[in-house]
């Protein structure tokens, strides 16, 4: 093992250690936001605005991060993103503005800034360390394990203790975890070999040409379009169910707290996300990329399970349905990671990751905004209809990937 390889492996372990604190902070922030919204009986559309606020900076920040990366370097951009976000959290806490629901949504906005800066470079680094194929599957499962520990620490602690401790404890604890994650991530970027040849994404003006080229390469096209298609289905339901649970199951679990319903939905979502990535074998991930229409099966399953979660009378049943739904959706999300790491040459991985992130975030913003408007005028179950429309559009998008017919026949080998 070369010296550079040892540095890369050490940096990877430290990066995931940083993601433990990052995911713990995210879990705490999510619990605090959902719990506060439910306790204060805020309007349903504020649950939807939480989705919009985290995604808007990711949509705009990907393009801005590219320009800043070229001018100042990846280290400076990621460090600046963490600094701005942590400073924002501290200002909200010290001024007491975090008690105002709309100001609390700024947390989601600040998290989106950091995501947009760090993900493309991290994607390329993972490719350098693990390679493609089975290496990408190993990286996916290792990342899920590290995420699991952080999410259990954040969401698990929050589910039990929010109603007893409130925002006054959660906010500084989450801010401290986030600042520690930033220090770890920025320090590892100085390890030899971590940022080798990270040019960032292609110039945004050329992305239209890139998409036209990908349209002729079916597996690359699907690697880019699976997540945007999935978001058309899952985002409306993820927006509507916490608000519906807050209305339908309020006070259902007094042992945990009167605000338990939306937090239980959040816990089911997080655990299902992690289980889906851990349990999906490589042949299933490959199937999602290689076969046209294969990804529609878990999307339909997600739609049915979430629709049932709106009407079941028991909160534990809601948790079980949400868990199973996100287990299915994250098989598709894992296939997106697998496809980007496997279908694109090493020199194009960061650009492909950035482009896929921009596409999926753009769809996320549009659909979440539509769901927000819908919740202003209609009750939360109306988002089921929006998700049904998204499922139809997703089927049309995935049908346009270069193979004729919607079928589940024998998969072709993935063409390079």
Instruction: Give DSSP secondary structure letters for 222-286.
Output: HHHHHHHHHHHHHHHHHHHHHHHHHHHSTTS-TTT-TTHHHHHHHHHHHHHHHHHHHH--HHHHH
What span, in angstroms and rounded, lies between the C-alpha atoms of 254 and 251? 6
Of the chain, the percentage scoring pLDDT greater than 90 comes to 6
What span, in angstroms and rounded, lies between the C-alpha atoms of 309 and 410? 34
At 16, list the tokens. Answer: 């995931």
Question: Quick check: helix, strand or coil at residue 371?
Answer: helix
The confidence score (pLDDT) of residue 158 equals: 60
Query: Which superfamily, per CATH, for 3-187+211-399?
Result: MFS general substrate transporter like domains (1.20.1250.20)
| Confidence band for 47, pLDDT divided at 50, 70 and 90 | low
What span, in angstroms and rounded, lies between the C-alpha atoms of 144 and 399? 30
Examine the pLDDT at 378 and tell me if it is beyond 50: yes
Q: How many CB atoms lie within 10 A of CB 46?
A: 19
Of the chain, the percentage scoring pLDDT greater than 70 comes to 53
């Amino acid at each position: 093992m070369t010296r550079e390889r040892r540095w890369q492996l050490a940096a990877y372990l430290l990066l995931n250690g940083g993601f433990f604190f990052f995911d713990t902070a995210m879990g705490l922030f999510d619990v605090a936001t959902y719990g506060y919204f439910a306790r204060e009986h805020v309007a349903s559309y504020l649950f939807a605005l939480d989705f919009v606020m985290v995604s808007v900076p990711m949509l705009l920040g990907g393009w801005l991060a590219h320009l800043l990366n070229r001018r100042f370097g990846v280290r400076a951009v990621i460090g600046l993103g963490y600094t701005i976000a942590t400073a924002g959290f501290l200002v909200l806490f010290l001024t007491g503005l975090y008690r105002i629901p709309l100001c609390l949504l700024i947390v989601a906005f600040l998290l989106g800034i950091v995501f947009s800066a760090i993900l493309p470079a991290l994607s390329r680094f993972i490719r350098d360390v693990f390679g493609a194929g089975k290496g990408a599957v190993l990286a996916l499962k290792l990342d899920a394990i590290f995420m699991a520990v952080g999410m259990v620490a954040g969401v698990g602690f929050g589910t039990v203790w929010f109603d007893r401790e409130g925002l006054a404890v959660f906010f500084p604890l989450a801010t401290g975890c986030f600042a520690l994650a930033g220090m770890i991530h920025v320090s590892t970027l100085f390890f030899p070999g971590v940022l080798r040849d990270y040019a960032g994404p292609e110039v945004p003006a050329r992305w239209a040409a890139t998409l036209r080229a990908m349209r002729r390469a079916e597996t690359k096209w699907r690697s880019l379009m699976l997540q945007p298609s999935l978001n058309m289905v899952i985002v409306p339901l993820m927006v509507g169910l916490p608000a519906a649970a807050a209305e339908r199951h309020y006070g259902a679990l007094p042992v945990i707290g009167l605000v338990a319903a939306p937090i239980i939905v959040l816990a089911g979502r997080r655990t299902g996300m992690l289980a889906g990535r851990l349990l999906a074998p490589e042949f299933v991930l490959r199937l999602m990329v290689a076969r046209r229409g294969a990804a529609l099966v878990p999307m339909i399953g997600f739609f049915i399970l979430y629709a049932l979660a709106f009407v079941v009378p028991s909160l534990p049943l809601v948790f079980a349905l949400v868990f199973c739904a996100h287990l299915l959706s994250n098989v598709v999300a894992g296939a997106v990671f697998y496809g980007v790491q496997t279908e694109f040459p090493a020199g194009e991985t960061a650009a492909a990751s950035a482009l896929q992130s921009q596409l999926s975030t753009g769809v996320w913003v549009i659909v979440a905004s539509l769901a927000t408007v819908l919740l202003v005028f209609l009750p939360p179950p109306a988002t089921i209809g929006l998700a049904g429309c998204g499922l139809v559009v997703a089927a049309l998008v995935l049908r346009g990937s270069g193979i004729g017919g919607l079928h589940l026949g024998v998969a072709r080998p993935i063409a390079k």
